[in-house]
Structure 1
């Protein structure tokens, strides 16, 4: 990690990329030919960074540069470029465990804060596929395996505490992006903030949420859990815009929010975006049966996560401080360990539901709203879709006992679909 600004750093444009790659021969060789043979496309569609896809006679590359500000806000919102270092560190740390579920890294330029990696094509962003109503048959299972492996192998269940302490020494420095998470996920949506982006017909809902002490108590617990529960290395922003897919492949990208935190956070974030897609789907182009596919994928994701996480734990034979193997060698002790494993996963589920709800509220009442809702041009229809998601999220936060398992969550999705734009008129649903 390096200090910024430095005199050598400069922001690359599409026109600059060929010369930049020419100066790094190992990258130029992957493209083949010379700079004049390369085609560069600016494909940045996220909030933070510049991203270019480059094609040459021999192959392609993805070039991603961290800007010294939030890309969608401009220079008025400065941002630490060291997020590129944390993304690279996260990707390298998980590479032995997640394999082909992450793109290959080819280069990291610590001066320009540029990551050059595998070009993913014909992959598309998962969110785009879901808006179009295109089922991706492997994604729930693949992401479940990715999160299960990351959550297990970077935790105290799979290593001595010194290993996690070394991870913490790196990722606790990722403070600029963690400030974004703390503010935008757990704080701003429950107060008046100039950063909040609220669909105008939802102002009554936003006002109710700001005045709801039960809700703010629940989100305070979620915030504290996020800040204090250091279980494993998190992606930190595992939504449908951070996953690229084809019908045969899944890749998780954009790990710059990496953090040592509660394992349920990544699980809940992923489920939250499927839930919001479910509420948005009736206002998209017709896609018969797609809501049913979404609910089936939510069920599959959690079932696969649980199976794979427990599978990693049961087959693990290394040295770890969380549950030392020699403490549970006898048959009675081994049976007790299995009970402890299942209790651990149950705790992850409860955390995941809490963080899922926080992520939904953030995406509706805060900054950086999602395309699933934004593609609904009519503001009233968009707000109606969002209101259902908000009502479900509040129910999960304030009444967690109603959601003992993933089936209960899925069964409750239709109950809130008609929550309406005036929470006072639908108070029974809102407060349910």
Structure 2
């Protein structure tokens, strides 16, 4: 396998069996901030494409091992939805997959931006964008799927950072480097045996097989604003599970972005599937806590006091299951 880098030479890239006859590579550059995989925008004399390569570790945290075949999960996901009337318009088209080098070539959606700016104080939603995200998740959970890969190794990796690592008293991650005072606040939850027991139960549920195809990481960095509307990307955590997981993760980010409760109400008005509110809230609480005291930090503008209140709210949610 050729191990590509953030600034791979055109000669190295051209040596890969990915290109058309007489296609010349003109440039290669990182395409956005990807946590899991190497992502490059390749411009040639014929087109512009996005190249994604998975490696046996997490791109943003190379010290964390990760299943190298996760790019196949993304491929399976895109192939599954490519004929769906609603979902196909939200995702990039697959151009080519190379199993030997764990590379996926997909459509270049242009110079889009993710939705991480929703965490800024005073962010105003565009109604069309909000409805697009709502429409997407509703359509995804509508799909009848019988043969999607279980993606268990990726779920095990995610499980560690959702349910375990943030709650270790000694995990080597000093939260005061994120915000002074956060480490002391976190100790209350790291020593909370009742909370940890509830998280263990919820974590087992996360690792079990469910009946709904989930995006698995449905949060603002996976939503892309483009000239052609909202697109949904980064589907390597997809799996068959509880619909409540996607909902809980989504609503946790509403909380972290200080969004008014009316947004959740509006979202659920157009959500056409049954769900257990206490399970949604349990996953919601988990996501709030892991984003505040885990390694996968966000560009939040929350004060220490706001984080403290959110952590207590999250604990109540988790215990409600």
Q: Which of 390, 405, 409 is the equivalent residue of 2:311? A: 390
Q: Are 2:282 and 2:320, in contact at CA under 8 Å, matched by a contact in 1?
A: no
1:358 is matched with which residue: 269, 286, 291?
286
Shift of 1:104: 1.1
Q: Report what 1:89 is aligned to.
A: 76
Aligned to 2:92: 103
**The residue matched to 1:106 in structure 2 has which SS?**
strand
1:144 paired with 2:134, answer yes
Provide closer, same or farther for how the CA distance between residues 122 and 262 of structure 1 changes in structure 2, counting only shifts above 3 A. Answer: same
Question: What is the number of residues matched between the two proteins?
Answer: 315
Aligned equivalents of 2:68, 2:319: Cα separation in 1: 38
Paired position in structure 2 for 1:232: 212
> Residues 42 and 396 from structure 1, CA distance in 2 versus in 1: closer, same or farther, beyond 3 angstroms?
same
Counterpart position of 2:239: 259
Q: Shift of the alpha carbon at 1:146?
A: 2.1
Change over 3 Å in CA distance of 1:63–1:197 after alignment to 2: farther
What per-residue deviation string (whole Å, max 9, x for no partner) do you get for residues 123-151 of structure 1?
Answer: 21111365383533333322222222222
Could you tell me how far apart the structure 1 residues matched to 2:90 and 2:155 are? 24
- Distance in 1 between the 2:267 and 2:201 partners? 25
Q: Against the structure 1 CA distance between its residues 21 and 195, is the aligned structure 2 distance closer, same or farther, given a 3 Å change threshold?
A: farther
Distance 1:103 1:85 in 2: 15
1:185 aligns with 2:162: yes
Larger Cα Rg: Structure 1 or Structure 2?
1
Out of 244, 268, 271, which is 1:305 matched to?
271
- Find the residue that maps to 2:142 and give its secondary structure: helix
Q: Which residue of 2 aligns with 1:55?
A: 43
Flag the 1:197–1:142 CA change in 2: closer, same or farther, 3 A: farther
CA contact (8 A) 2:112 2:224 kept: yes
TM-score normalised according to structure 2 size: 0.86
SS at match of 1:48: coil
SS in 2 for 1:363: helix
**Matched residues in 2 for 1:136 and 1:245: separation?**
11
Inter-partner Cα distance in structure 2 for 1:255 and 1:141: 20
Structure-2 separation of matches of 1:79 and 1:251: 25
- C-alpha spacing 1:109/1:248, structure 2 compared with 1 (3 Å): closer
User: TM-score normalised to the size of structure 1?
Assistant: 0.66
Cα separation, partners in 2 of 1:254 and 1:193, compared to 1, 3 Å: farther
Partner of 1:80: 67
List alignment gaps of at least 5 residues for structure 1. 1-7, 156-163, 279-290, 310-344, 401-432
Structure 1 residue corresponding to 2:251, chosen from 256, 271, 276: 271
* Change in 2 beyond 3 A, CA 1:137/1:247: farther
Q: Secondary structure at the match of 1:241?
A: helix
**Change beyond 3 A, Cα 1:149–1:193:** farther
Contact (CA 8 Å) 2:52, 2:105: kept in 1 or not? yes
Written as runs of structure 1 = structure 2, the 5 A alignment for 1:131-210 is 131=120, 133=123, 135-154=125-144, 164=146, 166-167=147-148, 171-172=149-150, 174-194=151-171, 196=173, 198-199=175-176, 200-210=180-190
* Cα deviation, residue 12, structure 1: 4.1
Closer, same or farther: CA 360–296 of 1 in aligned 2, 3 Å: same
How far off is 1:225 after superposition? 2.1
| 1:310-333 alpha-carbon deviations (Å, 9 max, x no partner) | xxxxxxxxxxxxxxxxxxxxxxxx
Residue 331 of structure 1 corresponds to which residue in structure 2? none
Which segments of 5 or more consecutive residues in structure 2 lack a partner in the other structure?
Answer: none
